[in-house]
Each structure stands twice: as C-alpha cells, then as structure tokens.
Structure 1
C-alpha cells in the first residue's frame, strides 16, 4: 500500500455503508482523515456502523440530514448505490465539494497494476476468467476485487508491485472517479441498463466511458468492435485500442479464425474445447484472452482455464440434474438482454422462471428468444407483463407463483426428462430479495430440496 498524505487532517464524509463504505471509512481513518460516516439504517440495526464507532469514527445514522453539509467537509465518498439525486449529494456538488466512490481511493493507494472491467453484461465472467488465467500462470500474482468479491480498498491495501489487481467496475462506481487509471481497461458491451439511475442511455454510456478517460498512450483499451456505438463512445481515448469480435476475424485483436480463438494472428485454442456454454460467453472469453495475453499469461494457462472453467455462480450456473431435468441458475440476469443471452444458450425445451422489480419496461424483446420455452413460471412485480409476452410467444403453460422457491416446484411439476429449468429473471431482485445473489441461493436451495 502506498503511503499518501492527501487525506491527512481533511474532513471527509462517507455517505452510505455496506462493504465499500465500511472499508473506505476505516481506510481514511487510517490515513489520518477526520471521518464522519452517515448511513440511513438506524444505529441499533447497524452492526457495521457500530464497529466503526468502536474505532473512534464519528457515526450519524437513521437518515441523511442535509445539515451535515454545514460541517465543512472537503470530500464525500459515496456508496455507489446512492443516486446523485440524493439531496446531500446534490447539495455537496452545488457547494463544489468533490464526490467520489471507493474505487478512486483504491487507485490512490494501490501499488499494483490495475485491470478494470466494465460493460452492461459479462463483467463478472470476464473478470473471473482473467483472474483464473493469471492465477494458473506460475509467474503471475493476481488479486480480484470489486462487485465480484472483496471491495477494492481492502484489496488495494495488500497489493504490491508483484500483483495484478483485476477489478470489476459498475457504471455507478465509474461516475465517482477523478484520477482512476487502469493500465488495461475493458468494455465488454453496451446496452440499455440502470436508466432509472442514470436517466438516459447517453448518461449511462458516458459513465461507462469513464474507465478510459484518464488512460494515456502507455495504456490499453480492450473493446467490443462489434458495437460501433462503443467505438464512437471512446473515440477520445489516448489508450491503444485492442479490439475483439465474435463476428469477424481481427488480425490486430482477438477473434475467431477457422473455429479457433486467435489473438494477434496466433491460434490459441479450438472453440469446441472450451467448456463455458453460450454464444454470449464468447465475448467474455475473447476479452479475457486479450487481457491475459497482454499481461503476459502463457498459452498453457489460457488453455487450462478455458477447458475447465464452467462459469460463475448465478451466471448461467449449472446446478444439478434431477430425474433427467437440468437446472440452471442465471439470477444475475437482471435485464432483458442477459435473459436473451441465457435463452439463446439452450436448444433443449426450457421451463423459464422469470420476474422481479418493475422498472417500467415491457418484455416484447424477449419474445423472439422464447422459441424453445415450453412453460413459464412468473413471480414478483413484473409477473403480469412477462405473462403477456409469454402468451404472445405462444407459450401454452404459464403459471404465477409467490416466489422463486415455489417457482422451482411448479417448474418441476410440469417438466419431463430432457427439459432445462432455467432461472433467468430478466429483472432486478429488489422487489422481493435484497440481491440477485440471495435470489439465486434460494433457487439453488429449492433445487436441492427436490431431491
């Protein structure tokens, strides 16, 4: 960890806790800042805040009082989930107080080279693949951070120059950076998402492009060349662009050539030998291979991982086979595009489990991908909208249930051997579950109970 004095004796407000807020507050306290933590959850129900209080950090809980801005803070470190429409955040920006997210702090203290991954879909799989490939190479020492596991500021504190810090980054996090500069940046793809937070696709895209805004000619940007919108979005970058494509051969990037993965003209592995299923995962694989090669991973490490890696939990995760039915957990499919990709990965008859938070959209875009769906079990706020799309797709058997657990039983009852039972909700989980991980774990538990 770098020793820095930038925050020493500065009054800093950490707004919102969860893992990133707790870590940021503790780090800033260690760096000599005068830290105040403000979290909406009452202190009596807030063990994280209580722990910080025991460290001697000032804690204010129960609400976000606007009067806090009168205390003369020089910086706010905001939890990524708190929107910029929050009165405290709006008031801070009007006063000229910088508002950053925890990844900016991580960058400031990290001794390790950073590989940052963002995009609408595939971030977690790509991040995990890179980490696993680097780990499989005896000459490399990767660390993994971000939404995927340990928060960035915790990992950055133990990172040395011998490490490579592989970090998954959301648009929410990237809105709050100032100097953050990954040596290698990746944008997997760009589609509509989180418009309730960003307001417009343009603002969402701008947040994603922040991953390369501080890169220089010495840095690298790996990007999906199949999306012209993406290429236009980062036209300002100073980094060297390394493209990948699932649709055309690229001599200057990563793509398919004669059924094999090719990087800068070098054939690495035949696609048929890759275990990870689905066309959508090919984008993730190409991006991960490009990054791994640029970092210096061996071809043997790449082949070893790609021939064994079966996927990330909650991302088209194979769960079990019960009486001939295959169960897959794709709880991470929190938008329509992700659900489309999951449905596209299967050629067997599918019982689809879907539903969740209503963000105002319809599900007509799912209809062309439902050709193999023989039954649909719906739940949550969007149940009725999904049923409408299912009827338009010609699905004869549609049933609404109260929750994911009941959906598993209902799906099993109408299925026969050879069917795939797929949880791919096409919606966020927050109407019923605190996270997509909890939703996915409930699905897994319900599947195991069937035995």
Structure 2
C-alpha cells in the first residue's frame, strides 16, 4: 500500500455505511483522517457501526444533518446514494469534493489497474480476467462492483501486481485522479435513467473510465459502438474487439479467436454458453494479452470457465423441467440474451424496480415464452406487455410465489427462467438476494415433488 499523507488531520465524511463505507472508514483512520460516518438508516445494534465507534469514529444515523458539513474537507459517498439528496447538493454549493471509495483505492494502490465497465457483461469480463491471472505466473486481484471492496483489496496489491476492478456508472461519477492502465467498456445501452436522469449523463459517467488515461495506456472497446466515442477525446491506445470484423485487437475469423493475427483458441473449445458471451470472451482475451499473460493461461480459463452466479446459472433439473437463475439481468438487454438462449417452452419470471422504462425492447425475444410470472413494481407494465403479445400471465407476490405458481403450468421439457429485466431494490436488497430466493424455493419445490 502506498504511503500517502493527503488525509492526515483532514475531516472526512463517509456517507453511507454498508460494506464499502465500513472499509473506507477504517482505511481513512489508518491514513490519519478524522472520520465521521453518516447513514440515513438507523444503525443501533449494527456491529460495523459499533466497531467504528469503538475506534473513535463519530457515527450519525437516521438522517443527514446539514451541520455534518461544517469543517468537512472531503465526502466519500456510497455509489448508490444519488447526488440529488439535500446534503450532497449543499456540499456541492460549498465546493466540498465528493468521491467514491474506488478513487481512494486507486490512490493507495501500488500496482497497475485494470478497470472494467459497461451496461452488460462487466462482471463476466472481470471474472474471466481474474481467472486468467489465476492460471498465470502474475498476480491479479479482483475488486469493485463484483463484490470485493476496492479500498480493502488495494491494501494488499504489490507493485508487480494488477488490480482488476469492476466499476459501475455510479462509482465512475466519483473519480478525480483514477487512472487505469487498461480500461474496458463492454457496451453501453440505456440503463439507470432513474439515477442519471438522461442517457447522455449515463454515457458520460461510463466514459469517465478513460478520462485520465495517457498514450501509455489502453482502452479496450466494442467496435460495434465506436460511434459513441465521437464526442470524447481518447488519449489512450484504442484496442477493439469484434465478433464480426477483423480489427486491430481481438476478433473471430473462421470460428477461431485471434488477437492481432495471433491464433488464441477455437470457438468450439470455449465452454462459456451464449452468443452474447463471445464479446465478453474477446474483451477478456484482449486484456489478457495486453497484460502479458501467456496463451496457456488464457486458454485454460476459456476451456474451463462456465459462468458466474446469477448470470444464466443452471440451478437444477426436476421431472424434466430445467431451472435457470438469471437474477443479474437487471435490464431488458440482459434479459433478451437469456430469453434468446432457449428454444424450449419457457416460463419467464420477471419484474422488479420500476425505472420508468418500457419493455418493447423484448418484443423480438419472447417467441419461446409460454407464460409470464410477474412481480414487483413493474408487474402492471409487464401484465400489459403479456396481454399485448397474447402470452398468459400470472401476477405473483414475489419470486418465491412465482416459483410456486410455475408448478401448475410446467411439464417435462420446459424451462423456468428467472430473468427479471429489472433491478431488485423494490423487494430485495440485491440481485444476489433475489437469485438466492429463487434457488432456495426451487429446492423446496423439487423436494415437494419427491
């Protein structure tokens, strides 16, 4: 960990406890800061809050008192907290800097940074790259939005190592000096408009990933979306990936994967399922080669890595019915990939947080859907969508209820697919919690059938 003195005797407000707030508060104490933690929810009895208080951290919960800004030199905010809340609006008027914890992680990281963002595929790409490092002689540490707090991971990274960080648009809005040696943008589609307000603001947040790069760095980018770069200055070296065109990067030709004309692997040997995953593979191959990983390490991953939890995850087969958990499909594009993966009669469990969007993007992807089971805030919209397409629809209380309802309609050869096309936060704390609820109830249902 780099020895930095920037935070000594500085008053830092950590806004939002959660996992990242807890770790960043501890790190700031180590760096000599005076730390205040503020969370809008009550924290009585919270073990993390109690642990911080025992170390001298002032913990304020239940509201965001404006007087917390008095004497504050910096705010480190939880990425999910929108800038429109009163305390952040007031901080901006006072010109108090606001960052997210990945900025702090970058400042203490001794190694090189690989950063991955995008609307879809970023978790898969991060996992693929992390797995490639595991099979190589080099060390790479996964962090960020994938579930490992970046400011904690950064403390263990040495100068010869790589820190591999998945970044959301929320995190990228809170960077200042953040400077990845290799940046990846998998794709950009419409998402998170409830947070960003407009698509332009969402795109701008994503493009922050390369804002501090220089000619010594790399930007790995989807060739199909090259036009989105027209409004941005790219100082780094552009490395494209494409499933359809030969390019100066990674591409497919005659069912083989190449990087800059170097053969890497036959596509038939790649075990990760789904056509959409081929772009993720190509992005990961490009990063692996740029980071100096040998082809054996890259091939080992591509011939063994079969996917990640909650992303088109096969759960079980019971009485000839197959169950798939795709809870990470929090938007229509991700759901379209899952729906396209099946030709069998599909029982589609969907719905969740209403972000104001419609579902017409899925019109061309529902040919195999024989019944919909809708949940959450978007249930009414999805019921209307089902009626428009003549698909029988069942209104359900939650994912558990939806699993139970499928028992009345499924038969051998069918697929039950949880692919919500919506975020989880109306009923579940995270998409992982939602997916786990699905898996657990599938297990209950199958045991009842014994």
Q: TM-score range by the shorter chain?
A: over 0.9
Alignment of 1:377 with 2:373, yes or no, is: yes
Q: What SS does the corresponding residue of 2:280 show, helix, strand or coil? A: helix
What residue is the counterpart of 1:305 in the other structure? 301
- Asked if 1:248 corresponds to 2:281, the answer is no
Give, in whole Å, the separation in 2 of the partners of 1:32 and 1:321.
55
Residue aligning to 1:132:
131
Distance 1:76 1:50 in 2: 21
2:363 is matched with: 367
Report the CA distance between 1:230 and its aligned residue: 3.0
CA distance in 2, matches of 1:248, 1:386: 37
Distance 2:114 2:43 in 1: 37
CA distance in 1, matches of 2:262, 2:412: 42
Residue 55 of structure 1 pairs with residue 55 of structure 2: yes
Q: Where does residue 178 of structure 2 map in the other structure?
A: 180
The 1-side partners of 2:105 and 2:428 are apart by: 29
How far does the alpha carbon of each residue in 1:303-362 deviate from its partner, in whole angstroms, 9 at most, with x for none? 211121111101111111111111111001111111111111222221111011112222
Question: SS at the partner of 1:439?
Answer: helix
Tell me which residue corresponds to 1:86: 85
Secondary structure class of the residue paired with 1:226: helix
In the other structure, the counterpart of 1:2 is 2
Mapped pair 1:116 → 2:112:
no
Q: Residues 4-63 of structure 1: CA distance to partner in whole angstroms, max 9, x if unpaired?
A: 101111111111111111111110111001111111122314332221101111111111
Q: Is the 8 A contact 1:371 1:393 kept in 2?
A: no
- Structure 2 distance, partners of 1:229, 1:352, is 34
- Equivalent of 1:416, from 408, 411, 420? 411
CA contact (8 A) 1:368 1:393 kept: no
> Number of residue pairs matched?
446
Residue 433 (1) aligns with residue 422 (2) = no
CA distance in 2, matches of 1:421, 1:272: 27
| Pair 47,229 (structure 1): closer, same or farther in 2 beyond 3 Å | farther
Structure 1: 5+ residue stretches without partners: none
Residue number in structure 2 paired with 1:18: 18
Cα separation, 2, equivalents of 1:202 and 1:167: 24
Residue deviations 1:156-194 (CA, integer Å, cap 9, x gap): 011111321110000000000000001000000001111
Q: Which residue of 1 is the match for residue 144 of structure 2?
A: 146
Residues in 2 aligned to 1:273 and 1:414: alpha-carbon distance in whole angstroms? 37
Alignment map for 1:268-279 (pairs within 5 Å): 268-279=264-275
Q: How has the CA–CA distance of structure 1 residues 229 and 49 changed in structure 2, closer, same or farther, with 3 Å as cutoff? A: farther
Write the deviation string for residues 135-171 of structure 1: whole angstroms up to 9, x where unpaired: 111x111111011121000000111113211100000
Write the distance in 2 (CA, Å) between the matches of 1:406 and 1:209.
Answer: 40
Unaligned runs of 5+ in 2: none
Report what 1:405 is aligned to.
400
Superposed CA deviations along residues 408-434 of structure 1, whole A, max 9, x for unmatched, are 122233122222211000111111111
C-alpha distance after superposition, 1:106-128 (max 9, x if no partner): 00001111100000111100000
After TM superposition, the score normalised by the length of structure 2 is: 0.97
Structure 2 Cα separation of the partners of residues 197 and 229 of structure 1: 24
Matched, 1:191 2:189: yes
How many angstroms apart in 2 are the aligned matches of 1:210 and 1:267? 32
* Residue of structure 2 in register with 1:387 after alignment: 383
